[in-house]
């Protein structure tokens, strides 16, 4: 199997701001008769590339407004997109927004047992704070789960999480299907840090760290543009 | 202004599993000639409602595959959606997935200073663990930021974050435009918990808590279906 290994810094991501591209986002509040395809066609007609669409029920209580569509775009400014969409049938309101990548940036994902997830988080949030102060945007996102199947499913789902750039597995015993899920995630270019633990996960992890606070810190350093730490040079090491 | 107040439990959310609807998700790996609108038409033709679309660059190194589209659906199973999309021009591979809502569930969002965010997190992750053990899925997602404008922008962006059900503001001084952003977020139905702090944010927050670990714990209790705690009964209280 050819595994394409790339730097955690350089993982390509359409949902992050990138030099030479114009990111845009627009939140559209629509009536029953609005058609998603017409909205997409209007944006494309102005040269936009669609990067993400999310839809929510309308909860502000405006008359006739039933649904919200949020679009993330490239090559069209938020303000231009909003003006454009106001003319599409069924649109009640269109507001320019920041993209979620502009606000929340790259994501460190932490999965595992509550006590250890919380300690990894302590390290990761504190380290992310220091990088965010220097102009980066790094979020730390977590879920506490128990059981091989639940954790393996969550590891696989990290590949589908927008802006996820690294995973930390915080537990005391992980193996079996979780290990298989880790290698699948690595194949899409997302590195995996594991606590030093029982089970086979540490044998496939990109980096193994005994102290959970340091595991969180190193995970942030691995994806920060403002850090010198590269996971390629650490691959297979244990701390 | 009519502010539609609803329970944090009951905030309607198309991206969470809901009784009586069939959630589905499919990850589609495509060649250069695939057209997003054709993919949407194929899904709709089978009766699916499109809930979310995310696109990623292809990073697995498969020949000719340039892009991944992830779809989240209602009223069409993941497996049926995958079979269907394999016949659309430009599709190299279509795999059934779990929806992100099935895996990561409702999200508690924590924004503020590193030290305090980490402590809120400690409470929230530990409490989420206890609810997830009983069958819920609650994630705790954080970003450490400094400055009125940056924090106000982040608060506003929480309205656009899929599956965000409550916000905790963890700082020592927040007011001005942040307070305005808090009231805007409350208008879409997302409650806001604040630490007891200087500035005007605590005067508009749904709940004010002095201890950060308890603030995180209460935020999780407020959105957990397995907890008795309702934020409506706590509104305006300080602990």
Does the model's ipTM exceed the 0.90 cut?
yes
Whether pLDDT at A117 is above 60:
yes
Structure confidence at residue A235 as a pLDDT band (50, 70, 90): confident
Q: What is the pLDDT of residue A144?
A: 97
> Chain B partners of A139 at a C-beta cutoff of 8 Å?
141-143
Give the model confidence (pLDDT) of A171-219 as tens digits.
999 999 999 999 999 999 999 999 999 999 999 999 999 999 999 999 9
Least confident of A3-7, A132-136, A235-239, B226-230: A3-7
Q: Position of tokens 């995180």?
A: B216
> Chain A partners of B126 at a C-beta cutoff of 8 Å?
114-115, 118, 144
Whether pLDDT at B5 is above 50:
no
Structure confidence at residue A8 as a pLDDT band (50, 70, 90): low
Give the model confidence (pLDDT) of B83-130 as tens digits.
999 999 999 999 999 999 999 999 999 999 989 999 999 999 999 999
What average pLDDT does this structure show over A48-63? 94
Q: How are beta strands A65-74 and A49-57 bridged, if at all?
A: antiparallel
Whether pLDDT at B21 is above 90:
no
Task: Please state, rounded to an integer, the average pLDDT across all residues of chain B.
Answer: 94
Q: What is the pLDDT of residue A68?
A: 97
Q: What is the pLDDT of residue A5?
A: 47
> Chain B partners of A135 at a C-beta cutoff of 8 Å?
none
Beta bridge partners, A209, equal A195
Q: Choose the mutation target among A44, A144, A164, A172 for the interface with B, i.e. most B CBs under 10 Å.
A: A144
Candidate from A128, A143, A156 with C-beta closest to B144: A128
Least confident of A35-49, A72-86, B17-31: B17-31
> Chain B partners of A13 at a C-beta cutoff of 8 Å?
56-57
Nearest CA in chain A to B141: A141
CA distances to A2, A88, B53 from A104, in Å: 32, 30, 18
State the pTM of this model: 0.95
Query: How many CB pairs (< 8 A) connect A and B?
Result: 193
Question: Which residues contact residue A232 at a Cβ distance below 8 angstroms, ignoring those fewer than 6 apart?
Answer: A5, A7
Q: Among candidates B31, B151, B32, B144, which has minimal Cα distance to B93?
A: B31
Structure confidence at residue B4 as a pLDDT band (50, 70, 90): very low
Give the model confidence (pLDDT) of B196-223 as tens digits.
999 999 999 999 999 999 999 999 999 9
Whether pLDDT at A7 is above 80:
no
Q: Cα B206 to the chain's mean position, in Å?
A: 19
Structure confidence at residue B8 as a pLDDT band (50, 70, 90): low
Structure confidence at residue A4 as a pLDDT band (50, 70, 90): very low
- Nearest CA-CA distance, residue A152 and chain B, Å: 10
Whether pLDDT at A106 is above 70:
yes
Q: Choose the mutation target among B18, B118, B186 for the interface with A, i.e. most A CBs under 10 Å.
A: B118
Interchain pair B157, A121: CB under 8 A: no
Q: What is the pLDDT of residue B2?
A: 36
Interchain pair A114, B104: CB under 8 A: no
Residue-by-residue DSSP string for B63-99: TTEEEEEEEEEESS-HHHHHHHHTTSTTEEEEEEE--
> Chain B partners of A121 at a C-beta cutoff of 8 Å?
118, 121-122, 125, 140, 142
């Amino acid at each position: 199997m050819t595994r394409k290994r790339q730097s955690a810094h350089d993982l390509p991501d359409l949902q992050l701001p990138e030099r030479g591209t114009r990111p845009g986002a627009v939140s559209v509040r629509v009536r029953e008769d609005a058609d998603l395809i017409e909205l997409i066609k209007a944006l494309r007609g102005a040269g936009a590339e669609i990067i993400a669409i999310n839809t929510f029920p309308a909860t502000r209580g405006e008359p006739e407004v039933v649904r919200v569509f949020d679009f993330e775009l490239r090559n069209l400014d938020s303000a231009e997109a909003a003006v454009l969409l106001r003319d599409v049938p069924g649109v009640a309101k269109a507001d320019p927004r920041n993209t979620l990548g502009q606000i929340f940036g790259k994501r460190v994902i932490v999965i595992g047992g509550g006590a250890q997830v919380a300690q990894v988080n302590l390290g990761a949030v504190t380290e992310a704070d220091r990088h965010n102060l220097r102009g980066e945007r790094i979020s730390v996102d977590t879920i506490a789960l128990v059981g091989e199947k639940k954790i393996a499913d969550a590891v696989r789902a990290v590949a589908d999480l927008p802006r996820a750039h690294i995973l930390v597995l915080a537990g005391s015993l992980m193996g079996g299907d979780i290990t298989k899920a880790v290698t699948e995630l690595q194949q899409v270019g997302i590195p995996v840090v594991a606590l030093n633990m029982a089970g086979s996960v540490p044998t496939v992890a990109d980096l193994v760290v005994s102290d959970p606070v340091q595991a969180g810190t190193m995970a942030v350093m691995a994806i920060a543009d403002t850090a010198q730490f590269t996971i390629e040079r650490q691959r297979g090491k244990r701390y």
